[in-house]
Chain A
Amino acid sequence: MSSTVRSLPEIEIADLVWRPAGVAAPTLDLRGYSLHVRGGETLLISGASGAGKSTLAAACAGLLGTLVPGELQGTLRVGGFDLVAAAVAREPGPPATLLEQIGVILAGPAPRHALPRLTDDVALALESRGVPAASIHAKVHAAISAAGLPERAGESDVDRLSGGERALAAAASALVTDPALLIADEPLAGLDETRAAALVTQIATLQATRVLVAHELERLSFANHTIHLGEGRVVPRATAHRAEALSEPTAPVGSGSAKSVVVLQLFAAASADRPNVPPVSITMHAGELALLHGETGTGKSALLALAAGVLPLDGGERHVADQVVRYVPQDPGLLLGARSLAQMLAPGDVARAEAFARELGVADLMSRPASRCSDGERRRLALVLTASQGPTALLVDEPTLGLDDASAARVMTLLVDQARAGCSLLVATHDERAARAVPPDLLRTVHHPTGTSGEANGGEPSVIGRGVQLASELLGPIPVKRLIGVSNPLTRFGLALFWFALSVISPATAVAQGAIALPALIVAWSSGVQFLATLRLALALAPAIAGLVIANLIGGSSAEAAFGAGLRLVAFAAGSLVLLRPFEPLRLADGALQHLRAPFAPTLTLLASAATLPTLMREARERRAIRRLSHRGSDPLLLADLFDAAIRAIPRLAIALEVRGVRLPSRARPASTSRPSTFGRADLLIILLSAGGLLVSIVRVLIERLTLAA
Chain B
Amino acid sequence: MNTRWSLMDLVSLSVIGISCGALFAGWNLLWGALTPLFALVLPLQYLLLAGTWVIAGPLAGLIIKRRGAALFGELIAASVSFLLASQWSIDALFSGAAQGLGAEVIFLLFGYRVWGWSVVVAAGAASGVGMALHDLPLYFAGVDASYAVLLAAAMVVSSALLGGGGALLLHRALRRSGALDAIGA
Contact = CB atoms under 8 A, between A and B. Distances in A.
Interface of A: 20-23, 66-69, 90, 92-93, 338-339, 369, 371-372, 496, 500, 504, 507-508, 540-541, 543-544, 546-548, 550-552, 554-558, 560-562, 564-565, 568-569, 572-573, 575-576, 579, 585, 602, 605-606, 608-610, 612-613, 617, 639-640, 642-644, 646-651, 653-654, 657-658, 662-664, 686, 689-690, 692-694, 696-697, 700-701, 704
B88 A693 contact: no
B114 interface: no
B79 interface: yes
Interface residues of B, number: 68
Contact of B181 (A21, A504, A548, A689): A21
Given A605-B7, A653-B15, A697-B130, 7 more contacts: A69-B181, A547-B38, A557-B143, A573-B87, A575-B89, A575-B90, A644-B177
With most chain A CB atoms within 10 A of its CB, the pick from B40, B148, B182 is B182
Interface in B1-40: 1, 4-8, 10-12, 14-16, 18-19, 22-23, 32-33, 35-36, 38-40
A607 to B, nearest CB: 9
B174 A22 contact: no
Interface stretch (B91-99, B105-113, B117-125, B157-165): B91-99
B180 A647 contact: yes
A369 B178 contact: yes
Contacts of B1: 90
B142 interface: yes
Contact of B35 (A66, A548, A646): A548
B93 A552 contact: no
A643 B178 contact: no
A648 B170 CA distance: 14
A543 B35 contact: yes
Contact of A650 (B11, B144, B177): B11
B32 A544 contact: yes
Contact of A648 (B18, B139, B179): B179
A355 to B, nearest CB: 27
A700 B136 CA distance: 11
11 contacts: A21-B181, A565-B140, A644-B179, A646-B15, A646-B19, A647-B180, A663-B7, A690-B75, A694-B97, A697-B130, A700-B138
Given A546-B36, A547-B38, A556-B144, A642 B88 contact: no
With most chain A CB atoms within 10 A of its CB, the pick from B10, B12, B101, B134 is B10
Given A664-B5, A697-B134, A371 B182 contact: yes
Nearest to A646: B19
Contact of B11 (A22, A643, A657, A686): A657
Contacts of A602: 10
Contacts of A617: 22
A547 B42 contact: yes
B166 to A, nearest CB: 10
Chain B at the A interface: SS class: helix
A608 to B, nearest CB: 8
Contacts of B174: 643-644, 647
A579 B90 contact: yes
B159 to A, nearest CB: 16
A693 B39 contact: no
Interface in B57-93: 75-76, 79-80, 82-83, 85, 87-91, 93
A372 B18 contact: no
A693 B94 CA distance: 4
A647 B88 contact: no
A540 B88 CA distance: 10
- A-B residue pairs, 10 tightest by C-beta: A561-B142, A547-B35, A22-B181, A69-B184, A92-B6, A557-B142, A555-B143, A555-B147, A609-B14, A693-B94
A547 B35 CA distance: 5
A608 B173 CA distance: 26
Contacts of A556: 142-144, 147
Contact of B140 (A20, A552, A610): A552
B151 to A, nearest CB: 8
A96 B90 CA distance: 39
B7 A657 contact: yes
B39 A546 contact: yes
A417 to B, nearest CB: 32
A643 B19 contact: yes
A95 to B, nearest CB: 14
Contacts of A640: 173
A37 to B, nearest CB: 27
B18 A700 contact: no
A540 B7 contact: no
A692 B98 CA distance: 11
A664 B6 contact: yes
Contacts of A573: 87, 89
Contact of B6 (A23, A93, A339): A93
Contact of B143 (A93, A552, A704): A552
